[in-house]
Structure 1
Amino acid sequence: MSLRLVQDERELTAVQRLRWQVFYAERGAGSEADAPRPEHLDADVYDPLCDHLLVIDEDALAGEQVVGTYRLLRESVARRSFGFYSAGEFDLQPLTHAGGSGELLELGRSCVLPPYRTSGTISLLWRGIADYIARYEISLMFGCASFAGTDPEAHAAALSYLHHHHLSPAEQRPAVLPGHIDEGRGIALERQPLGSYDERRALMGLPPLVKGYMRVGAKFGEGAYVDHAFNTIDVCVVMPVDLIAGRYAARFSVAA
């Protein structure tokens, strides 16, 4: 398998088709947008602005096949256009000055086809992200990570675990937008008091992507957003590069 950034419109379409397969066909997402969504494509106004990492299986039976992707949106690009995608769910103001002299990078739309959900594929994607943050002098990464379904009670223990043990420092803590709380789309992470739930089972109930972020030292914002369009509950992930570099620089060859 190989890794590269999207190079042309054909490859971008392949990414959008992959995302539709995972988010819509597999996970049951449904669009709430007014405009009709192209059939079998997950596309939005942010796609042309972003860089897209591709994992490609060059030995697939049908020829080269895009099997994994990550969407990358730099702060400098976001400021010249629509802002960050996550700003529609979370107040990102605390991150405005958190980046220091470097740029912020929003990670999003991460997905991999089921047969390729292996440590090798994930390592390829993270190696690409590591190269990207070094190239553009990124100082802080953030984005949304999702729990399946829209029932907060189903994830109450796991969400509470994140709140009690992995909350981002106040000066770097995005929070679900107050308007979403008023509408019933924003929820508190601390749904169960500390000690009232089985922490081991709560940890096991975390999605693999969330646990992967935790392993590199990520923290999480305040509250969560119920995204009915994608059939998910989203939390905001915060990853200062200087906190993860020491543990993962050699593994992902950031220095190179």
Structure 2
Amino acid sequence: MTIAFEIGRYRARLAATPDDLAACQRLRHACFFGHAGLDRDAFDARCRHLMIEDAAGRLVAAARILLIGQGADLAQSYAAQFYDLSGLTAQPGPLLELGRFCIAADVLDADVVRVAWGALAGIVDEAGVQTLFGCTSFTGTDPARYGAAFARLAAQHQGPAPLRPGIKAREVVALNGQGDGTAPLPSLLRSYLAMGGWVGDHAVVDRQMNTLHVFTCLDIAAVPPARARALRAVMGAR
């Protein structure tokens, strides 16, 4: 699995050294916990780590990716800790789990997300990935903040019932739109949905990470052709 390209003032590449991994872990900790530290777990050693750097070499976004050969091997995934994925085990492979996606808090340039998705498109093409999935995080653990967002997901973006993950985590919240909060959908989730992705029917309350997260899945064959061409065009830009 290889990826390295530049567009505008940003460069995408995969972590290649222990120092690269530590930089990703520092950025993740700052984004998810709000202060300095290293966000690390046992999955880091099994994953590849996507890095987006600016022209000065500063890491501005990161994500980790785990390639899974077939649906029967989904128990290897990070998401399988929190969701019963038995409905997806018949999915053909390869599958790619996207996790720990984060962008530095002071970086507001939409091109960062565009470059990240362009890099992921290259990885998907290279590995022949058929399904992209992961846990998409909402900041904090109060579901009332996301009443409108959860109601929208429940009404418009639920996945097929046979494929939706079952409940496995100890603490979950149904996506029934309780509360009047109007906090927006995370940018990563908006990208998934724009490409035809879907979500499960509940959010997991992850108090260790101080997030609510929903299972998110994208059938690569369902991505609109125009969107797929646009993502692949990012890879060709210099």
Q: TM-score range by the shorter chain?
A: 0.7 to 0.9
Q: Does 1:228 align with 2:207?
A: yes
Match of 1:243 in 2: 222
Deviation of residue 246 (structure 1)? Answer: 1.6
Gaps in structure 1 of 5+ consecutive residues: 27-38
On the 8 A contact 1:167/1:220 being kept in 2, the answer is: yes
TM-score in terms of structure 1 length: 0.80
SS at match of 2:101: strand
Match of 2:60 in 1: 67
Deviation of residue 81 (structure 1)? Answer: 11
Letter in 2 for 1:69: A
Deviation of residue 207 (structure 1)? Answer: 2.4
On the 8 A contact 1:216/1:247 being kept in 2, the answer is: no
Aligned-residue Cα RMSD (Å) equals: 2.6
Gaps in structure 2 of 5+ consecutive residues: 1-9
SS at match of 1:239: strand
Deviation of residue 245 (structure 1)? Answer: 5.1
CA change 1:220–1:136 in 2 (3 A) is same
Letter in 1 for 2:19: R
Match of 2:24 in 1: 15
After superposition, the C-alpha distances for 1:51-102 in whole angstroms (9 at most, x for unaligned) are 111111232xxxx22111111011139988971111111111112112x2x3
Distance 1:79 1:53 in 2: 25
Match of 1:164 in 2: 155
CA change 1:13–1:150 in 2 (3 A) is same
Distance 2:138 2:109 in 1: 19
Moved over 4 A (4+): 77-82
After superposition, the C-alpha distances for 1:115-134 in whole angstroms (9 at most, x for unaligned) are 32321111110011000011
Match of 2:4 in 1: none
Structure showing greater radius of gyration is 1
Letter in 2 for 1:41: L
On the 8 A contact 1:104/1:141 being kept in 2, the answer is: yes
How many residues are matched?
A: 226
Q: Does 1:84 align with 2:77?
A: yes
Letter in 1 for 2:52: V
Deviation of residue 176 (structure 1)? Answer: 3.0
Select the residue among 43, 46, 59 that pairs with 1:46.
43
Match of 2:190 in 1: 211
Letter in 2 for 1:89: F
After superposition, the C-alpha distances for 1:153-190 in whole angstroms (9 at most, x for unaligned) are 2223321221111000123212331xx3xx4x112112
Match of 2:176 in 1: 190
Task: Tell me whether 164-173 or 42-51 shows the greater mean CA deviation.
Answer: 164-173
Q: Does 1:126 align with 2:117?
A: yes
Match of 1:56 in 2: 53
TM-score in terms of structure 2 length: 0.86
Whose strand fraction is larger, Structure 1's or Structure 2's?
A: 2
On the 8 A contact 2:141/2:212 being kept in 1, the answer is: yes
CA change 1:104–1:81 in 2 (3 A) is closer
